[in-house]
Amino acid sequence: MNQSDIQRSTATRGQGAGIVGAGHDHHGGPGPEVMAADTLQHNDVVSSDGKNLGKIKHIMLDVLNGRIAYAVLSNGGFLGIGDKLLAIPWGALTLNIDEKSFLLSATGAEVKASPGFDKEQWPVMGDLQWAVGVHDYYRTARYWERDTFPEDEALNRVHQGPLL
């Protein structure tokens, strides 16, 4: 996968993760546009400079608004011990279906310096200040500020934060 694949993927996607890979245009079966969340858990995440950052541990849903909010990345530990968890905005990721991995639009150094949390002390992900900080850190549009179906006025809600 090269930078033009990533740019093409991010230019054509809605508010979710981009998709790249040879099988992207194949529409036989449930994926890759619609997939079971557990099939994406444990996928590797690779930085924009090619470093393996860890694996997707959880996929976090904004239940009230029906959107994927974050992927929780397990980074830096060994067999789950001493690892740092990172909330990665879903829009910062690109799924590579050929490699069964995600590409994160941040360098390995940026991820190492990123705000994280311990598996025993999760942040309140519905807190607006926390959510803004995470999206700003990864230079990603705030998912709750985008309309899912702009053509359907009944679904266009004024929304002040991730989980009101």
Domain boundaries, the chain: 3-23+36-155
* pLDDT tens-digit profile, the chain (164 residues): 444 444 434 433 445 666 776 655 555 666 667 777 888 888 999 999 999 999 999 999 999 888 899 999 998 765 555 688 999 999 999 988 888 899 999 999 999 899 899 888 999 998 999 999 999 999 999 888 865 544 443 333 334 445 44
Instruction: Give pTM, 2 decimals.
Output: 0.73
Q: 82: how many CB neighbours lie within 10 A of its CB?
A: 9
Regarding the domain delimited by 3-23+36-155, which CATH topology (the fold level of the hierarchy) does it fall under? SH3 type barrels. (2.30.30)
Q: What does the alpha-carbon distance between residue 18 and residue 10 come to, in Å, rounded to a whole number?
A: 6
Beta strands in 14-163 (DSSP E): 18-20, 44-46, 52-62, 67-75, 84-89, 93-96, 101-104
